[in-house]
Amino acid sequence: MSNVDSHDEHHQNQRPSLSSTRLYDKLDKCKRDKDFYQAHQIYRTIYFRLINQPHQQQENFVEILDFIYNGAKYFLDHQQSNSGYDLCKCFVEILNKQEKYKELNEGLLSKICKLYELLRPYRDERIEYAYNILRWSETVPSSTSQQQQEELPLATPKTRTSFSSSILSTLTEPSSSSTIPPPKIYHKSGHPEVHERFAKILWNEKNYKDSRYHFLHSHDGIECANMLIDLHTNYGYPSEVDLFITQVVLQYLCLKNFHTAYLVFVTYVERHPLIQQPPPFHLYPILNFVWFLLLCLKKMLVRSTTTEQQNPRDIRTNLSSYTDPQQREQQASIASFTSKVKCFSTLCELYKPSLNRDTTLLQYLERIGQLFFGIKQQQSSNRTPNMFENLFQNLANPPVDSSSSNSAQAASNNFMSSLFFQQQNQYSSISDDNDMDFDLDVD
């Protein structure tokens, strides 16, 4: 039996029951005869009859969706791009008419991505299809497993110690015993799983530019790092090995995706043949900057352990004058926040020569300062020539209560020292520290 005949037999078993069998028989004959024009017209006729049925049930939409998907795939498999794309538009229209999905199931995701893969690369039809699918996917929340990925992951105990374990041991948080279900998360740029699948298809086609864009809106930091390594080793200069990953990490942070930012960094520096070493990166100062920035943000975003929650001794001394517990807690919070801002400003100052290599990095850092540290954007009619001056002027004047300046300075010194001390001592003792023997499965 030929592939067309077997496809027709399978298709007959999936005929929606709301239309005439005579039309289906005629459609099957046109497909056997490869009368593509007539087959397309029949598909359109059946589609309009089905979609305009009154009191349409959700089960009927599923049948119609499968019917149109099979038709679009049939035409695209036979290089009938116009007819195939027309049914792709019908496919999206059905999705928009259905009840909102509670989550994106694998079967539907596979259909969406198969049609995307069959549409011709670089053509307007594929671009429009992707745009419409992503707009629809904005209404679909992340699944429970996807939401867990959007939070900081837990490290997995391993019998061996690796470089990634040394990094992730400082960035993970203890598991929470809360039984409260996580809130639904919607994504205004499109569902991350759709972006992830599109990115992998484009990567396979060697379309690195568009693949990179979709990876940035996904949560797959591991495959994004692998794509960047592939891109750099084939098309980049050796001197750009650090810039490739730095740009992506900062862009993830600008999208407030801290989880994927550090995951892509860990995977890239561990697997890239020109790096493959733990911090400090003696040949790549800008990678040290990224590493310290992730540690700094981790201090802000991750719930600290009981020990870390205690204020430094010098901060407690400065706060002892506050008798009201609520006021004392407020001042401690301000001092702690100020120390993070000081850390950020110190990092930018120390690594200013390296950051000057690419002016776009300064724009990303300015945005990160606004998002994570509350630093106001400097108003200037000509911001590009004075980008660094504007950035440091903003950093020099963080939004802080003046009454906490002394405790803030003490917190800053303590916080910055702890970061550098952590880097210098962490890697020499990791093999003897069972508490740090963790690894994230990046295979």
Give one DSSP letter per residue of 282-344, joined into a string. TT-HHHHHHHHHHHHHHHHHSPP-HHHHSPPHHHHHHHTT--SHHHHHHHHHHHHHHHHHHHH
Asked whether 340 and 294 are in contact (CB, 8 A), the reply is: no
Asked whether 377 and 394 are in contact (CB, 8 A), the reply is: yes
pLDDT value for 380 = 55
Q: Which pLDDT band holds residue 334 (cuts at 50, 70, 90)?
A: low
Helix (H) or strand (E) holding 156: strand 156-157
Among 111-120, 122-131, 145-154, 199-208, the least confident range: 145-154
40 pLDDT higher than 50: yes
Asked whether 63 and 14 are in contact (CB, 8 A), the reply is: yes
What is d(CA 397, CA 348) in angstroms, rounded to the nearest whole number? 14
- pLDDT for 186-215, tens place per residue? 999 999 999 999 999 999 999 999 999 999
What is d(CA 218, CA 194) in angstroms, rounded to the nearest whole number? 8
What is d(CA 52, CA 161) in angstroms, rounded to the nearest whole number? 61
CA 422, 423, 424 angle in degrees (round to 5)? 95
Q: What is the pTM of this model?
A: 0.77
pLDDT value for 387 = 52
Reading the block at residue 34, the tokens are 């490869």
Q: Which pLDDT band holds residue 402 (cuts at 50, 70, 90)?
A: very low
Q: Rounded mean pLDDT of 69-80?
A: 97
Asked whether 245 and 264 are in contact (CB, 8 A), the reply is: yes
Among 161-170, 324-333, 424-433, the least confident range: 424-433
Q: Which residues of 325-353 are buried (b: 16+ CB within 10 A; e: fewer)?
A: eeebeebbebbbbbbbbbbbbbbbeebee
Among 71-75, 152-156, 327-331, the least confident range: 152-156
pLDDT value for 325 = 57
Give the residue with greater pLDDT, 421 vs 93: 93
- pLDDT for 340-386, tens place per residue? 788 898 999 999 999 999 999 999 999 999 999 888 876 655 555 45
Q: Rounded mean pLDDT of 128-137?
A: 98
Specify whether the backbone of 183 is left (phi greater than 0), alpha (psi in -120 to 50) or beta: beta
- Range 113-119, long-range pairs (CB < 8 A, 24+ positions): 113/194, 113/197, 113/198, 113/201, 114/73, 115/69, 115/72, 115/73, 115/76, 115/88, 115/91, 116/197, 116/198, 116/201, 117/201, 118/73, 118/76, 118/77, 118/84, 119/76, 119/81, 119/84, 119/85, 119/88
What is d(CA 232, CA 333) in angstroms, rounded to the nearest whole number? 43
DSSP code of residue 183:
P
What is d(CA 366, CA 377) in angstroms, rounded to the nearest whole number? 7
Q: Judge residue 59's burial from the number of C-beta atoms within 10 Å of its C-beta, 0-12 exposed, 13-18 middle, 19 or more buried.
A: exposed
Amino acid identity, residue 215? F
Helix (H) or strand (E) holding 439: strand 438-439
Specify whether the backbone of 374 is left (phi greater than 0), alpha (psi in -120 to 50) or beta: left
pLDDT value for 319 = 44
Q: Where are the domains of the chain?
A: 3-99
Percentage, residues of the chain above pLDDT 70: 62
Among 44-53, 114-123, 134-143, 304-313, the least confident range: 304-313
Q: Rounded mean pLDDT of 99-128?
A: 94
Helix (H) or strand (E) holding 72: helix 58-77
What is d(CA 330, CA 108) in angstroms, rounded to the nearest whole number? 49
pLDDT value for 340 = 78
